[in-house]
Homo-oligomer: A and B are copies of this chain.
Amino acid sequence: MTLEQLRSRVDELDRQLVALLNERAQTAKQIGQIKAASSMQVYVPGREKLVHENLRAANTGPLPDAELFHIYERILDVMRALQRNELASQKNAQAARDAQQGQPADARSSETGK
Q: Give A contacts to B, CB under 8 Å.
A: 1-3, 6-7, 9-11, 13-31, 34, 47, 50-51, 54-55, 58-63, 67-68, 70-71, 73-75, 78, 81-82
Contacts and interface: CB of A to CB of B under 8 A. Distances in A.
B63 A25 contact: yes
Q: Is the interface of A mostly helix, strand, loop or mixed?
A: helix
Q: How many copies of this kind of chain does the complex include?
A: 2
Contacts of A25: 62-63, 67
Contact of A6 (B7, B17, B31, B58): B31
Contact of A74 (B15, B58, B63, B74): B74
A24 B15 CA distance: 11
Contacts of A29: 62
